[in-house]
């Protein structure tokens, strides 16, 4: 018996050690195998960013070397800009593949900014170079004259200190010529953005155009050096020419992206169909954060608000389009449209400005679960009459004198989405399109004739349009203002973009939406496409939002 115990005890001890050993350590990190290609050709990526070059002006100028790359590319002249699209935010998005709403980087420190009213540490996301160095046996390079950007990207093999675009070009060529293991490189030119500040970011500005042509010359120099590499025959280069954003740092515009490879067929990629926001519940909002008084209704101002709307349910009584305070009892300052069962009404008041409280005016049965055009006009007729008129599908519903409401001015934001009315109505659910704000009161004939206008630039009062938001971006957290002046709207809450076949009357149905590829590109697509081309598997924990869109064209380059 004693002999048996002495045999069993060591065995039990060994099993205990094995058991505790299995519990003590985390699982090992994943290991990715190299892409099993039928040839020994190695995929590599060169990204060239020409900061400040808008997609529209690139298309107009059509510089020689970039045009040559476009002939073997999938490209777009309309990269959707992010919620914050200044130089810092756009570059952080390009390098991490993560949208601003997540990385929260927007100033020269390149550090994430904590969200308002949050004590949580902001999330930190790795950049694409970090993943490349972890999973691939290649060298990486970042060549930029911007010191803060160079410092932000800390993990590259080559990061020469340069201060001019010509030095960027020369240093990049030197690395291309002398580093056989080079596998991923970003080259950043900044002179175009600087040139645009002198006369405008338009092709008609000679200073801007000449800067674009000089950058194009540098692009040609880089491509020549790339093709002269001794190892070029065994390399499969993807060349991405893009921009952090179009226009200036303080007023960014949509950019462009050209992804060129010798095996790709020329094709412009684009978003297809109608893709809008689902405004649901109380938290999903689109707001002009600071209109600098542009959409202030005041006590004498004329204005018109018009929007296409489709409700998904009938509920009472939430506001859904407003420039007002909440409406509690009879107290409201400003104006709002609110839903009430199948009907819609306009509520007006100037409580905080010494005016009368709530007065409501019917806007008709706009909540019958179909698309409708709602509108509200306010016109100062004379010293005793300020007329409000509501319209449904271009037809007047209610007219009233609102002079006793006094001033409608409020610090509340112009808002699409829930506005509190007596603490109810959180079952709100609707889609919207083509919100227009005019600084004049449109007459009945003009409203009726243009209620479903498909090209807003043809509106007879286009010069009075101070805000136009199509609400058809399909991604990111910003509704772009397409009016000659005015401001973007910023989305908040758990918003989602939905693709709809039931389009509003002002939208032309896209016949190609059913069979064509709908591809929407953002700055985050640069990092995503880079990792895809290098066969670095994009895991969910990377947090990448970008679309590695070339995966939809593999028939052209996977042999």
| Token pair in block for residue 239 | 């060349």
Contact 186, 91 (CB under 8 A): no
State residue 13's pLDDT score.
33
Q: Are 346 and 363 in contact (CB under 8 A)?
A: yes
For 170-189, letters b (16+ CB in 10 Å) and e give: ebbbebbeebeebbbbbbbb
**CA 359 – CA 408 distance, rounded (Å):** 12
For the domain bounded by 43-81+127-270+519-557, which CATH number is listed? Answer: 3.40.720.10
Q: Hey, what are 466's tokens?
A: 């101070």
What's residue 79's pLDDT? Answer: 94
pLDDT of residue 360: 78
Angle of CA points 187, 188, 194, to nearest 5°: 160
Domain ranges of the chain: 43-81+127-270+519-557, 275-500
pLDDT at 361: 85
The pTM of this model reads: 0.74
Question: How many residues does this entry show for the chain?
Answer: 559
Q: What residues does 349 pair with on adjacent strands? A: 334
Are 75 and 256 within 8 A, CB to CB? yes
- Fold exhibited by the domain 275-500: Jelly Rolls (2.60.120)
Q: Could you state, in chain order, the average pLDDT of each consecutive group of 10 residues for the chain (559 residues)?
A: 38 34 37 45 97 98 98 96 92 95 92 71 89 96 98 95 98 98 98 97 98 98 98 97 96 95 96 93 96 97 98 95 95 95 94 83 92 97 97 96 95 97 91 98 98 96 98 90 92 90 90 73 96 96 92 92
């Amino acid at each position: 018996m004693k002999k048996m115990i002495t045999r069993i005890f060591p065995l039990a001890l060994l099993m205990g050690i094995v058991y505790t050993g299995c519990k003590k350590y985390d699982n090992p990190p994943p290991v990715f195998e190299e892409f099993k290609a039928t040839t020994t050709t190695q995929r590599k990526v060169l990204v060239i960013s020409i900061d400040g070059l808008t997609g529209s002006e690139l298309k107009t100028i059509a510089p020689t070397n970039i045009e040559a790359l476009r002939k073997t590319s999938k490209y777009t002249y309309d990269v959707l800009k992010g919620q914050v699209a200044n130089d810092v935010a756009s570059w952080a998005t390009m390098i991490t593949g993560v949208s601003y709403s997540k990385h929260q980087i927007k100033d020269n420190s390149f550090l994430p900014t904590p969200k308002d009213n949050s004590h949580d540490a902001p999330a930190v996301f790795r950049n694409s170079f970090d993943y490349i160095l972890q999973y691939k046996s290649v060298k990486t390079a970042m060549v930029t004259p911007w010191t803060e950007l160079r410092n932000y990207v800390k993990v590259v093999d080559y990061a020469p200190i340069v201060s001019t675009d010509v030095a960027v070009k020369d240093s990049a060529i030197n690395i291309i010529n002398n580093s056989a293991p080079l596998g991923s490189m970003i080259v950043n030119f900044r002179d175009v953005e600087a040139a645009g500040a002198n006369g405008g970011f338009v092709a008609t500005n000679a200073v801007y155009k000449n800067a674009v042509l000089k950058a194009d010359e540098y692009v040609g120099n880089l491509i020549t050096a790339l093709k002269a590499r001794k190892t070029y025959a065994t390399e499969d280069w993807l060349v991405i020419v893009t921009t952090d954003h179009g226009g200036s740092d303080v007023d960014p515009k949509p950019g462009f992206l050209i992804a060129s490879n010798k095996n790709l067929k020329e094709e412009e990629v684009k978003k297809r169909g109608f893709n809008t926001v689902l405004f649901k519940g109380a938290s999903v909002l689109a707001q002009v954060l600071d209109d600098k008084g542009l959409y202030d209704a005041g006590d004498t101002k004329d204005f018109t608000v018009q929007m296409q709307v489709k409700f998904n349910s009938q509920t009472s009584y939430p506001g859904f389009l407003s420039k007002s305070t909440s409406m509690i009892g009879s107290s409201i300052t400003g104006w709002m449209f609110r839903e009430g069962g199948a009907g819609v009404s306009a509520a007006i008041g100037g409580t905080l400005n010494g005016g009368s409280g709530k007065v409501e005016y019917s806007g008709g049965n706009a909540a019958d679960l179909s698309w409708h055009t709602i509108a509200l006009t306010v016109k100062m007729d004379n010293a005793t009459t300020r007329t409000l008129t509501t319209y449904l599908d271009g037809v007047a519903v209610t007219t009233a004198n609102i002079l006793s409401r006094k001033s409608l001015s409020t610090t509340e934001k112009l808002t699409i989405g829930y506005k509190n009315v007596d603490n109810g109505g959180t079952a709100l659910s609707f889609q919207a399109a083509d919100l227009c704000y005019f600084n004049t009161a449109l007459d009945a004939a003009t409203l009726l004739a243009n209620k479903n206008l498909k090209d807003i630039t043809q509106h007879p009062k286009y010069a009075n349009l101070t805000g136009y938001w199509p609400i058809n971006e399909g991604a990111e957290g910003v509704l772009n203002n397409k009016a000659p002046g005015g401001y973007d709207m910023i989305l908040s809450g758990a918003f989602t973009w939905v693709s709809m076949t039931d389009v509003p009357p002002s939208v032309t149905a896209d016949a190609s939406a059913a069979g064509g590829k709908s591809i929407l590109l953002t700055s985050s697509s640069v990092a995503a496409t880079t990792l895809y081309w290098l066969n670095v598997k994009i895991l969910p924990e990377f947090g990448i939002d970008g679309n590695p869109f070339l995966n939809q064209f593999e028939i052209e380059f996977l042999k």
